[in-house]
Structure 1
Amino acid sequence: MSISQSVFPESAIVSKLRAAGCVFAEDEARLLLSAGATPVELARMLDRRMAGFPLEHILGWVEFCGLRIAVDTGVFVPRRRTEFLVHEATALTAPGAVVLDLCCGGGALGAALSAAVGGIEVYAADIEPAAVACARRNLAAQGGRVYEGDLFEPLPDALRGSIDILLCNTPYVPTEMIETMPPEARLHEPRVTLDGGPDGLDVQRRVAADAARWLAPGGHLLVEASENQAPRTAELFEHGGLIPRIATSEELYATVVIGTRPCS
């Protein structure tokens, strides 16, 4: 038994977390106990969690596709459903592929795809400085190059027409729905990572309009969308010169729209 556990028994931590409304109190208690090196540190972490801070920001990491991805305070936390996007991308990616993780957040998608398919060339970009710093750490082992700026704007011109796989987990929550999200998301993650405009598709429109110019012939764009949004997203892809299809996962309650640039 650790010193922290002797001062704060797991059962007591579970009770506090349940009282604060944490649905997975037992799992969270174990994670906090393993992370809190001293009773003082554990107490500080527990207080933050009870105050509504995301567990992932308190721990400094999130498990995603079997990897431990660093997530700093103020950086978007990748959701488990987004693992389906990586699954779909893995089936389309060959070793040596050029991959771009756009709206990358902490770079979870690029890191996970790199772990699943060896020997790929990873680029990433995000508009949030905190996310860029985090992504650079998460993608360092893969030699990933991370750029700060708005969508394609900061990327080197040499990438135009050469990207085989474009991963883009854009914000797609309609503006009026932001206030219905859990407090740990809407209060502690940057609004720009959540708000997709009036219908949730503002950023997807911009990506779909430019993607064909950056994709290699036969390259693929993959974005996450809600089930209701997916047909409209597919139309945006088609208007942008891509051949769309929709993939769904009942297990993860996830929908991914895939657009392919024609080879000719």
Structure 2
Amino acid sequence: MFKLTGKIAVVTGGGSGIGKAISVVFARQGAEVHILELREESARETVAEIQEAGGKVEAYSCDVSKQQEVNAVFGNIPKVDILVNNAGIAHVGNLEGTTEEDLDRIYGVNVKGAYNCLRSAVVKMKEQGGGAILNLASIVSHVGIPDRFAYSMSKGAIHAMTMSVAKDYLSANIRCNSVSPARVHTPFVDGFISKNYPGKEEEMFHKLSQTQPIGRMGKPEEVAALALFLCSAEAGFITGCDYPIDGGFIKLNN
């Protein structure tokens, strides 16, 4: 079950964290993985791990917020069976603590970046008779989180875009779903804590871990397992859905 043999998968932000875990598990299950990263060298570890295990992988330097760069990369990929829109950045701040530059930066990567990749992938998927798309949303698509105005805006857009694409391309045999992780322990999280809470890293890590009712942060591999299912043939009857993977955050945090 859950084999991706013969499939070509594009994963944005596949150099670390959740994107790396998804790239590795997809390759292990037989997919040829194409990683889009802002800095290609960031994907070297992922590429090496996949190649050492006998998998097929390519990495490209690409700023997903720039449509011309995205189009150029997709032009070099023969077909796209699977697209995972994972690349994203964060910002801490409420409405008043978010500048126009902050909003534009978050929008450019998280929303426009996903749009650019969706646009390129859908064209190829229509030509080849179908495909599977997975967008990385967030629990902030569903509940209010303090000081996450711009990030919440962007992930709410991802959730809405997922529903729109799923509806518009039913007849093209293109499935589109999203997952909404809570806090997942990645290098991104460690860097985020160090930057925003210097000197209080251990305290904040524990505090953020305990906000999940299950008592810990998620693991990238757990998100990757859900991504594998949703992009596999076994999920062929699923489209237009969002799957929280949140340790009970949305439903049990009361």
Highest RCO, 1 vs 2 (Cα 8 Å, sep ≥ 6): 2
**Larger Rg over CA atoms:** 1
State TM-score, norm by structure 2: 0.46
